[in-house]
Chain A
């Protein structure tokens, strides 16, 4: 069966520090991968999506970047965190265009 792993579960980072969140999917090949963010009191905002290795599309301009070094690995990064980067970050995957998502358990990022 397919599973999605996301870590760490919680993270507290100072302003200006780097960030690396990792997401891996097991049990499937060539998934579409997504990074979402849920800011406090807000809905789910799509940040990045990827349809293949090295193929990244950004939905909103921001202080973050994403990479997909392997088929089932999706990484969210930042060189210098801002206070506004705080939020709940979710990785998700789907196999076919138009399907529903399976979400990871999320990472609570607090920038202090």
Chain B
């Protein structure tokens, strides 16, 4: 049971480049989430999705774009990466009825 996976696990990119982080879950969970983790801030929600083709902004959505054409995939795109987007990004999923979220292993992104 693969659960929830993220790729790549590590990424270094340059300022201004577009980069896409992938998230894939095998549980058929309806909800999927993207968080960023920064020291002193805990985790902050970027975007979430209640189902395929339904997405909504979280606490820190600026500079990010998401899509969800299939239930199992929820890619996060940084259209023009900035140094302030250097962070660890976590994808998570949950069912409709149970509010606990299950997290992927994270992607460490460095923007130079």
Asked if A and B are interacting partners, one says no
